[in-house]
Structures are given as structure tokens and as C-alpha cells.
Amino acid sequence: MQVPAEEMPAVSEASRTVIREAKAAGVYVFGGGINSGVASLMVSADGSCETRTYPQTSEFDGGFCVLELPSRDEAISWAARLAAACRCAQELREFHYDSES
């Protein structure tokens, strides 16, 4: 996200508008930003911890928005709305359904 500081309030409001629309449409599940002030922690099966992350995510900065949608096309449409609001591309992922979760 390459947005001048003076434009961030407008970007924030635009993205929140899309989230409010998702909530009104009944498709919003949850969302939130990554707290960049807290270091990532890798926790092993034995409970030991290291302050690190996977190499491919070491520069991750941003947040998540989880929507429950009937199709991939709908997901692409919502992702495009968020991309326009945030002024940057959005990565679209699909959760694997697990009846035990």
C-alpha cells in the first residue's frame, strides 16, 4: 500500500464503508489488522517459542477480512471492491471447509 499519509483517512473510511456493506449484506465473518508492534512468534509442538516467522511471510503487513460467499466470482467482486477502497491489490484465499472446526 503506497498511500500518502494525508490520504490515509480517506482510504480508511473507504475500506470501512466496504466492510459496513459486507456486514449489511450478511457476508462478513471477521477481520482485523496485524499488530506490527508485536513480533511474530513461531511456536513448536513441544511448546518452545522463537521470535521469527516463515521466510515467505517475513514482510507481511496488513490485515485480513473473511467473508462467507456463495461463489469464487462473488469473492473476486468483493476483493475488487476492497482493492479499490484500499488502493492496492488484495490477495484472495479460500478456506477449506472442515466439519470439525
Domain 8-86: CATH architecture, name and number where available? 2-Layer Sandwich (3.30)
Q: How far apart are CA 27 and CA 37, in angstroms?
A: 30
Q: How far apart are CA 72 and CA 76, in angstroms?
A: 6
Query: Domain-by-domain residue ranges, the chain?
Result: 8-86
Q: Where are the alpha helices (DSSP H) in 2-92?
A: 8-24, 72-86
Q: Which DSSP symbol is given to 26?
A: T
Tell me, yes or no, if the pTM score tops 0.85: no
The pLDDT tens digits along the chain (101 residues) read 788 999 999 999 999 999 999 999 999 999 988 888 888 889 999 999 998 888 777 666 678 899 999 999 999 999 999 999 999 999 999 988 888 98
Closest alpha carbon to 91 in 59, 54, 65, 69: 65
